[in-house]
Amino acid sequence: MSRQGGSNQEQPPRRPTVTDVARYAGVSTATVSRVLTGANTVDGVLADRVRAACVALQYRPNSAARALARGKSLIIGLLVTEFRNPFFMDIVHGVEDVTQEHGYLLVLCNSKEDQEREGQYIELMCAEQVAGAIVVPTTDRKPILTPLVESGIPVVCVDRRVHDRSIDTVLIDNTSAARAAVAHLIGNGYRRIGLVTGPDRTTTARERLEGYRGALLDAGIALDPALERRGPFTEELGRQLTDELLDLDPAVEALLIGNNRLVQGALAAIHARGMRIPEDIAVVGFDEVPWITPGSVSLTTVMQPAYELGSTAALRLIQRLKHPDRLARQETVLSYRLHIGDSSRPRPRENPGLQDSHARFQSALGV
């Protein structure tokens, strides 16, 4: 005889609850909760019955529920400035691996370099009382992280600084990195070097500008404000600002580009004019640009350890969560690497003596 309707598929077994444990042990759910949260106010006999019931029923207390019962959160907020940028996604992966390893859950937010949007996410983190926050700040010109600090939520900044001296930071030495990149170009015979970098409100952009200027002055090359361009870290601005530099007379010989989104725009501007890299103009960028067209010239770039920036920031936050009152503020500076590609090959010179002097200059700089 066949059955009409219904299903003969087996239903998955129901997971035991606190109520089931209480009923099995013959105690109240409040007693079970106190035992599971480690309270020492429960009679030893009753506590043993609760633990025996957990074993018999194979009850596994939910870690999130247990943390909430103790008045603690297992949520860490991560606020970055651009989801589409692979550099920031590598930071996310570094943070996620460490936070999961230590039993925390990650909530990811994207400010899109918008300070109002950033403020809304920070308010949300405060309202939800996250355990801690890791932030790529949009600016150091405003006390944007004050709500988190005043709420007692530990914060670590990554990639960029803020002026709050109580906040830990993980980043690279941007000034030194830009200085090394420009020194490399100077050593390869380039003198008229343009800069395209981010907005003045970010410490990364200002520090890279400082390094750019420092390398020129080191080589006895006069600074020229006409060669400096700044704007949002976007492909559109990279193209626009590069076009402005390519219109200059006398012509720009080389470019330092302040991040990978700007590099993409700069390359588009250069290729649109039919210019060759490095024959017509040399290029050095920041961060890997994985979406360069196959067959394009290899790019000289400052390689930042993005994954390690994220994982180091997460480890520092975990330390703060474990020892909230015992750690002094710390700034961790990780190493960068100047990857030499074909986009900055030595500039051809008619005078072999000049070429030799450029090589000696580069050797003296150690680049």
Q: Evaluate whether 228 touches 257 at the Cβ level (below 8 Å).
A: no
The amino acid present at 129, given as its one-letter code, is Q
**CA distances to 86, 207, 334 from 331, in Å:** 24, 16, 10
CA angle 42, 47, 48 (to 5 degrees): 155
Q: Kindly tell me if the per-residue pLDDT of 66 is higher than 70.
A: no
Q: Kindly tell me if the per-residue pLDDT of 358 is higher than 70.
A: no
* Residue extent(s) of CATH 3.40.50.2300 domains in the chain: 75-172+306-334, 174-304+337-365
Fold of 174-304+337-365: Rossmann fold (3.40.50)
Distance CA(224)–CA(77), nearest Å, equals 42
- Domain 75-172+306-334, what architecture? 3-Layer(aba) Sandwich (3.40)
pLDDT of residue 333: 98
| DSSP bridge partners of 133 | 77, 155
Binning pLDDT at 50, 70 and 90, where does residue 200 land?
A: very high
Please give the residue that has the higher pLDDT: either 227 or 325: 227
Q: Report the percentage of the chain scoring pLDDT > 70.
A: 86
> Can you tell me whether residue 171 is helix, strand or coil?
strand
Class of the CATH domain delimited by 18-69 = mainly alpha
* Residue extent(s) of CATH 1.10.260.40 domains in the chain: 18-69
Least confident of 7-21, 165-179, 308-322: 7-21
pLDDT of residue 30: 75
Q: Average pLDDT, stretch 264-271?
A: 95
Q: Evaluate whether 198 touches 259 at the Cβ level (below 8 Å).
A: yes
DSSP-derived secondary structure for 190-218: --SEEEEE--TTSHHHHHHHHHHHHHHHH
Per-residue pLDDT reduced to its tens digit, 24-61: 999 887 788 777 766 677 888 888 898 898 888 888 76
Per-residue pLDDT reduced to its tens digit, 163-190: 888 899 999 999 999 999 999 999 999 9
Query: For residue 257, which of 247, 267, 248 has the smallest C-alpha distance?
Result: 267
Work out the mean pLDDT of the chain and round it to a whole number. Answer: 88
Q: Kindly tell me if the per-residue pLDDT of 286 is higher than 50.
A: yes
Per-residue pLDDT reduced to its tens digit, 104-120: 999 999 999 999 999 99
